[in-house]
Structure 1
Amino acid sequence: MSPHAEIISKVVPTGANNWWKEATVYQVYPASFYDSNGDGWGDIPGVIAKVPYLHSLGIDVVWLSPMYDSPMHDMGYDVSDYENVLPAYGTVQDVEKLIQACHERGMKLILDLVVNHTSDQHEWFKESRSSKDNPKRDWYFWRPPRYDEQGNRLPPSNYRGYFAGSTWTWDEHTQEYYLHLYAPSQPDLNWDNESTRQAIYESAVHFWLEKGIDGFRVDTVNKYSKHTSFPDVSIVDPKSYIQPAIPMWCNGPRIHEFLREMYDTALAPYGDVVTVGELANTPDPKQVLEYVGASAKELSMVFHLDIGHIGMGALEDKYIFHPWELTKLKDVVYKWQSFVEGSDGWTTAFCENHDNGRSVSRFGNDSPAFREISAKMLAIMMVCMTGTLFLYQGQEIGMINAPPEWPIDEYRDIEGLGYYREAESLEKSGIDTLRKKKIMDGLRILARDHSRLPMQWDDSPHAGFTTGKPWMRAHDLYPEINVKQQESEGGSVLSFWKQLLTLRKTYRDLFIHGAFEVLDRENPATFCFLKSREEKEALIILNFTAQSQPFKLAERTSGMKLLVGNYEVSVFETLKPFEGRIYIK
């Protein structure tokens, strides 16, 4: 039993069983999913064309990453018009057709809600920066400069942003700085202004709910409320003027007020709308329950980003890889699997998304010998997780990170490139001659680009993603890893996922709603956990190494049957490399 867990003597079911609790959600990154017209960009008609594939996989909900009109400095997370679609992706009418295509098959569709910031090309910001007395000036955060003893102009505070560099950019026209936690092209909206909030609800929320969508993944959900006096933070990086300042904008003083208002005024009138918040930098489960408890009336559930951050450094060193032990993964999974037990809250299960490297490369083994078997082992782990399950496109076929020999020129992500260029500058100035290599080594494992390579549909040029020139290079191994090949192979990763998703529904009491208990917390090679609900139990055994391991919990299988494993032939007393098994009682 996990030494940091209490024995659960009485299992208490979690809250009401909303439709979204037992759903399997599939995230589509539209630029890289499927290009229907040969221009090199994935598009909404391409998603529509693949809805039958998603239905056959066993998907209940399609989550469409930002498809709004945008200059695309941050791949659509810089929205210039909430009520229009990027022309390269299609039209509003195409989204309506996608809603219909999903609903006809009993599936649902959710969109990304990106309302911490807009693009600097949004009409709201254009008005805001036009003059200091514009009615929308206070829709964003504007502050005058300050000056050092030599008279040099300085930003209003010493905050480091997420994409490297200051959170403040000087606007020559109005002689003030504006705030942006991300890129300068992504100015932060001022949620303290009621008019701003009402405009957000009307344009970004109501507009699409009226079209018939079923909910939202809510981007950067705990960053809407800032400490608006913007005090300087203490210096932890003496080499730099700008410093990590996350407490100045995460879980701020009015955040729960804002989310309750959005729920009451923008969401609740449309029924059981699902909201999945991206909740960063909130390590205390009690604090998370304040967001996801049904009685809180704020969010349906949230993504706890700890699993995606395994191997990453702190903000200033995010892309310098830090080796990690399996106990780290166990602790992260246990924490966010167990915190809702006995509460009215709900949780999520995922190990891939558009912001992280591929799970096979990070948590399994992407060598030819082990990539398929470790992909299946990770699939076993994920389908047994309590909460709503999220898959990312390509995860179901075991897509892996870009080849390590690819140069920085093949990378496209604004965040990773920002860290690389910052390191390059430090190298040229002689301040840090090792940082650029460390960043590049880290990007090969952790970069967001890995998840954004084109979806690998078949072995035709560019993986069947497009007939044109793709916006991003297809993986070199697409002839070996693709949907078409795996659909015809009974033992493929894709076939295994289909089997497991069916089992997840069959044993929903255990896998979706079960209480979670780690059994071998200190074992550095295996991850074994128990799922239970009343008299039912499931024992999940996972070998996270490329070596055979002794099955130390063999006695726990007494009275249980082997439900599924990722090897055709298994030896009871020994776990083969990356072997995974599920036993049921």
Structure 2
Amino acid sequence: MNAVISQRWWKEAVVYQIYPRSFMDGNGDGTGDIPGIIERLDYLKDLGVDVLWLCPIFPSPNDDNGYDISDYQGILSDFGTMADFDNLLEQAHQRGLRILLDLVVNHSSDEHPWFTESRSSKDNPKRDWYIWRDGKPNGAPPNNWASIFSGPAWEYDDASGQYFLHLFSRKQPDLNWENAEMRQAVYQMVRWWLDKGVDGFRIDAITHIRKEPGFPDLPNPKHLAAVPSHEMHRNKDGILEYISDLCANTFAHYDVMTVGEANGVNVEQAADWVGEDQGRFNMLFQFEQLKLWGSDGNADLDLPKLKQTLTRWQKGLEGNGWNALFVENHDIPRITSTWGNTEQYWRESATAIALMYFMMQGTPFIYQGQELGMTNHPFTALDQFDDVAARNQIAEWRAEGRSDADMLADLLSSSRDNARTPMQWSSEFNAGFTIGKPWLAINPNHQWLNAEDQADDPNSVLNFYKAMIRMRRAEPTLVYGTYDLVLEDDAQVYAYTRSGEEDAFVVLCNLSDADWHGDLGVATPAETGLCLSNYADAAEQPADRLRPWEARLYRL
């Protein structure tokens, strides 16, 4: 077994991400809620997961579906009450399930009392809890930075005569992490939740909390109205001081799981964030693999590049850190639609992609519906899109004169709404999600793609996920063993070994529509060593031949 420093519960766990608005509606109003989650806890326990990560459940105007928080210590009424949450926490813990919350502290809502006070006057004690600046002499914003959600990153406030910074929506003003009082208020809030019994946090957009000192303009040779500004606020020098202060004042005093959303952190820097001797986060969501999706969501899978990227992170953190493994979340389209083949090999591609990432060294994350092979939604009109990023993009494109048909074609493959359509529980009305009008359109393929039907099908995507989880739980080598890539340059097959002190496994995944035959580069596994496959007759087939989207796990 390799030199991983410690064995911890959060390394052995499997995490299931819940988008509460779309998971299960418990009261029939068309919006998922906490009672709905409680109703489905036995499903999650049966699936075999250990940790439930809830996207934000706090009070919010919902400009960005809850990532604009107006009260860090409350529950959005759409989702229920604090009593409902306490019941969820108790019911989950009784089943051995832990609860992870989303910690959103790069910004708050502009309706948060902190910001209401901050904008009330220039001399308010909380003025410096946010980032306010005078405009340029001509009245223009303080600099030419663009928001991540498009448009300028500054909003003018008529009442106080200054601009405030918002790296995301204009209703998401950035908190000023240079202000020690603001930081202490955040830490007090975090400890409040931890004392209540939550088991950790996924920390949203945390690499943006440090901004380039002086807020300089960016070069603008194209004369843009606002210039993409990631380099001015993503993983800037000095940010680790903030992270250390956050962790020392909160997480370090509890046995909890912490996952940082780490856009802009490369593998050479990752040990500073998750190294076991650093006392910071447990693991990171790294974004390098997301670049392979393509900006339009239509990227063909460049498998050699994917192997290079994931292997760099596997080996880069080996023995001194931990990876968060994922292929889907609430911010990206469905992976089977993006990389798989939903027409000819829907089940095979959904399961092959699953095995490819799931058996690497790290903690696997499953996004709701991923375990069913849910696909992108066939939206037919622009007004069906809900996401703020999509709405802003549509406004920009309209200003550029693009046709509705062109805009729709782009959004069909790239919109975050693809991941946010309601969970497909059954073939019944509204997919069993709600008896009311669903807040977002339900994919019509729920009539054949749903949890109820898959539960009874031994060859379903759902039962393949259950088998993967059981296999990983039973074999410590599949958690802690050393990862080594094989078939490095092969454009069809992702293959790697996991090696422990006494045993080893090889994962073989043909991520293409074509048959494959080749030299595995490792000792050819015997058919008797087959542990898992997504083709029913795989045990009868030679190990060096794979059919389209065939995936196998062998014990060597």
Shorter-chain TM band: over 0.9
8 Å CA contact 1:51, 1:102 repeated in 2:
yes
Q: Tell me, in whole angstroms, the C-alpha distance in 2 between the residues paired with 1:559 and 1:467.
A: 51
Aligned-pair CA distance for 1:441: 3.3
8 Å CA contact 2:494, 2:509 repeated in 1:
yes
The code of the aligned residue for 1:331 comes to Q
SS at match of 2:177: coil
SS at match of 1:378: helix
Per-residue CA deviations over 1:9-56 (Å, capped at 9, x if unaligned) read xx6321111110100000000000000000010000110111111001
The answer for the alignment partner of 1:122 in structure 2 is 112
The code of the aligned residue for 2:336 comes to V
Per-residue CA deviations over 1:200-224 (Å, capped at 9, x if unaligned) read 1112x12211211010000011111
Name the CA shift for 1:517/1:443 in 2 (closer, same or farther; >3 Å): farther
The answer for the alignment partner of 1:521 in structure 2 is 488
Q: Tell me, in whole angstroms, the C-alpha distance in 1 between the residues paired with 2:474 and 2:261.
A: 29
Q: Tell me, in whole angstroms, the C-alpha distance in 1 between the residues paired with 2:396 and 2:294.
A: 17
Per-residue CA deviations over 1:540-575 (Å, capped at 9, x if unaligned) read 111111121224328632467221111012332431
Q: Equivalent of 1:288, from 270, 283, 286?
A: 270
Q: Equivalent of 1:491, from 435, 455, 459?
A: 459
The code of the aligned residue for 1:164 comes to S
- Match status 1:329 vs 2:306: yes
The answer for the alignment partner of 1:355 in structure 2 is 331
SS at match of 2:206: coil
Per-residue CA deviations over 1:509-555 (Å, capped at 9, x if unaligned) read 2x222222221222222212222223422111111111212243286
The code of the aligned residue for 2:229 comes to A
The code of the aligned residue for 2:144 comes to N
Matches within 5 A, 1:37-116: 37-116=27-106
The answer for the alignment partner of 2:355 in structure 1 is 380
Q: Tell me, in whole angstroms, the C-alpha distance in 2 between the residues paired with 1:321 and 1:200.
A: 39
- Match status 1:580 vs 2:543: no
Name the CA shift for 1:567/1:321 in 2 (closer, same or farther; >3 Å): closer
- Match status 1:166 vs 2:156: no
Name the CA shift for 1:481/1:248 in 2 (closer, same or farther; >3 Å): same
Task: Please give the root-mean-square deviation of Cα atoms over the aligned residues, in Å.
Answer: 1.7
The code of the aligned residue for 2:244 comes to R
Q: Tell me, in whole angstroms, the C-alpha distance in 2 between the residues paired with 1:183 and 1:296.
A: 33
Structure 2 residues without counterparts, runs of 5 or longer:
none
The code of the aligned residue for 1:496 comes to F
- Match status 1:308 vs 2:290: yes
8 Å CA contact 1:565, 1:582 repeated in 2:
yes
The answer for the alignment partner of 2:177 in structure 1 is 191
8 Å CA contact 1:58, 1:502 repeated in 2:
yes
Q: Equivalent of 2:385, from 411, 419, 425?
A: 411
Q: Tell me, in whole angstroms, the C-alpha distance in 2 between the residues paired with 1:335 and 1:417.
A: 36
Structure 1 residues without counterparts, runs of 5 or longer:
1-10, 314-318, 428-432
Aligned-pair CA distance for 1:99: 0.8
The answer for the alignment partner of 1:260 in structure 2 is 244
Name the CA shift for 1:480/1:554 in 2 (closer, same or farther; >3 Å): farther
8 Å CA contact 1:539, 1:557 repeated in 2:
no
The answer for the alignment partner of 1:543 in structure 2 is 510
Aligned-pair CA distance for 1:159: 0.5
- Match status 1:552 vs 2:519: yes
Q: Tell me, in whole angstroms, the C-alpha distance in 1 between the residues paired with 2:466 and 2:396.
A: 44
8 Å CA contact 1:321, 1:441 repeated in 2:
no
Aligned-pair CA distance for 1:303: 0.5
Q: Tell me, in whole angstroms, the C-alpha distance in 2 between the residues paired with 1:439 and 1:386.
A: 39
8 Å CA contact 1:72, 1:78 repeated in 2:
yes
The answer for the alignment partner of 1:233 in structure 2 is 218
Name the CA shift for 1:555/1:72 in 2 (closer, same or farther; >3 Å): closer
Per-residue CA deviations over 1:376-402 (Å, capped at 9, x if unaligned) read 112211321111111000011111111
The answer for the alignment partner of 2:395 in structure 1 is 421
SS at match of 1:81: coil
Q: Tell me, in whole angstroms, the C-alpha distance in 2 between the residues paired with 1:46 and 1:179.
A: 37
Q: Tell me, in whole angstroms, the C-alpha distance in 2 between the residues paired with 1:320 and 1:33.
A: 24
Q: Tell me, in whole angstroms, the C-alpha distance in 2 between the residues paired with 1:564 and 1:320.
A: 30
Q: Equivalent of 2:537, from 527, 551, 569?
A: 569
Q: Equivalent of 1:246, from 202, 211, 230?
A: 230
The code of the aligned residue for 1:419 comes to Q
SS at match of 1:295: coil
Q: Equivalent of 1:22, from 12, 31, 47?
A: 12
Q: Tell me, in whole angstroms, the C-alpha distance in 2 between the residues paired with 1:339 and 1:556.
A: 26
Q: Tell me, in whole angstroms, the C-alpha distance in 1 between the residues paired with 2:298 and 2:467.
A: 35
The answer for the alignment partner of 1:399 in structure 2 is 374
Q: Tell me, in whole angstroms, the C-alpha distance in 1 between the residues paired with 2:30 and 2:174.
A: 31
- Match status 1:35 vs 2:25: yes
Q: Tell me, in whole angstroms, the C-alpha distance in 2 between the residues paired with 1:387 and 1:76.
A: 28
Q: TM-score, normalised by structure 1?
A: 0.91
Q: Tell me, in whole angstroms, the C-alpha distance in 2 between the residues paired with 1:170 and 1:276.
A: 34
8 Å CA contact 1:538, 1:583 repeated in 2:
yes
- Match status 1:274 vs 2:257: yes
The answer for the alignment partner of 1:5 in structure 2 is none
- Match status 1:370 vs 2:345: yes
Q: Tell me, in whole angstroms, the C-alpha distance in 2 between the residues paired with 1:558 and 1:324.
A: 27
Q: TM-score, normalised by structure 2?
A: 0.96
8 Å CA contact 1:320, 1:438 repeated in 2:
no
Aligned-pair CA distance for 1:437: 6.2
8 Å CA contact 2:394, 2:407 repeated in 1:
yes
Identity score, percent: 38
Q: Tell me, in whole angstroms, the C-alpha distance in 1 between the residues paired with 2:294 and 2:109.
A: 28
Matches within 5 A, 1:330-345: 330-343=307-320, 345=321
The code of the aligned residue for 2:19 comes to Y
The code of the aligned residue for 2:448 comes to E
SS at match of 1:84: coil
Worse overlay, 531-540 or 97-106: 531-540
Name the CA shift for 1:526/1:476 in 2 (closer, same or farther; >3 Å): same
Q: Equivalent of 1:476, from 418, 431, 444?
A: 444
Worse overlay, 549-558 or 349-358: 549-558
Q: Tell me, in whole angstroms, the C-alpha distance in 2 between the residues paired with 1:47 and 1:582.
A: 33
8 Å CA contact 2:380, 2:408 repeated in 1:
no
